[in-house]
Chains A and B, each alone.
Chain A
Amino acid sequence: NAGVMQNPRHLVRRRGQEARLRCSPMKGHSHVYWYRQLPEEGLKFMVYLQKENIIDESGMPKERFSAEFPKEGPSILRIQQVVRGDSAAYFCASSPTAAYQETQYFGPGTRLLVL
């Protein structure tokens, strides 16, 4: 059973460009979570999605950031007009159910560098 897949693994963008990060959950998982890890910090929750629905986006910045998880295809985290402060590692996790004690399985992350 393949794990959570994320691509690209590394992404370089110039200020003002758009960044698109993709996440394919584990087979059979319909719950996806995005986290951001700034340098020297722990992971911070951004958004929780189920297929075609955003369930909790309380950790998402109000502007420039959006996420989707379409019926077909991977989940996408989109950052418009990137700034240097967006440089971070972005991790996607998935779980088979929404139970609070359920394990979240993490992908390898996308490391975004904004020049």
Chain B
Amino acid sequence: AQSVTQLGSHVSVSEGALVLLRCNYSSSVPPYLFWYVQYPNQGLQLLLKYTTGATLVKGINGFEAEFKKSETSFHLTKPSAHMSDAAEYFCAVSKSGSARQLTFGSGTQLTVLP
């Protein structure tokens, strides 16, 4: 069974500082990896995804993530945090097989301090 671990349920950064949100996955086959963002009382919005090809993936709002197979990681980064980045971030994985469901991590709440 596949699983997703997000280290740090709460992360605080200062405005303008680097954002680093960690995601590790366990999968016996190469996975497809996703980062979603959820603003309060809203649905999830896709930030970026990795399927195949280039391991550094660029997404919306200046976010990017790098797939590292050797480390089974897909960490999300942004060079400079904005106040509007405050939200909850979810890493998710799907893989070929019988199920098309997404398996989500437990989420990381990002707080941006002025």
Interface of A toward B, CB cutoff 8 Å: 4, 6, 31, 33, 35, 41-45, 48, 55-56, 58-59, 91, 93, 98, 100-101, 103-109, 111
Instruction: Give bound CA distance, A53 to B106, whole Å.
Output: 30
Q: Determine which of A56, A58, A104, A108 lies in contact with B42 in the assembled complex, contact meaning CB atoms within 8 Å.
A: A108
Residues of B within 8 A of A31 (CB): 100
Within 8 A of A (CB), among B1-54: 32, 34, 36, 41-46, 49, 51-52
Q: Closest chain B residue to A42 by CB distance?
A: B104
Q: Which of B44, B97, B104 has the most CB of A within 10 A?
A: B44
Contact A108 B105 (CB under 8 A): no
Contact A43 B104 (CB under 8 A): yes
Residues of A within 8 A of B104 (CB): 35, 42-44
Given A33-B101, A100-B96, are A109 and B43 neighbors across the interface (CB < 8 Å)? yes
Q: Determine which of A56, A103, A108 lies in contact with B49 in the assembled complex, contact meaning CB atoms within 8 Å.
A: A103
Interface of B toward A, CB cutoff 8 Å: 32, 34, 36, 41-46, 49, 51-52, 90, 92, 94-107
Q: Which of A35, A59, A91, A104 has the most CB of B within 10 A?
A: A104
Contact B107 A59 (CB under 8 A): no
Q: Determine which of B32, B49, B51, B90 lies in contact with A43 in the assembled complex, contact meaning CB atoms within 8 Å.
A: B90
Q: Closest chain B residue to A92 by CB distance?
A: B43
Instruction: Give bound CA distance, A41 to B43, whole Å.
Output: 14
Residues of B within 8 A of A111 (CB): 41
Residues of B within 8 A of A4 (CB): 43
Contact B101 A59 (CB under 8 A): yes
Instruction: Give bound CA distance, A108 to B44, whole Å.
Output: 7
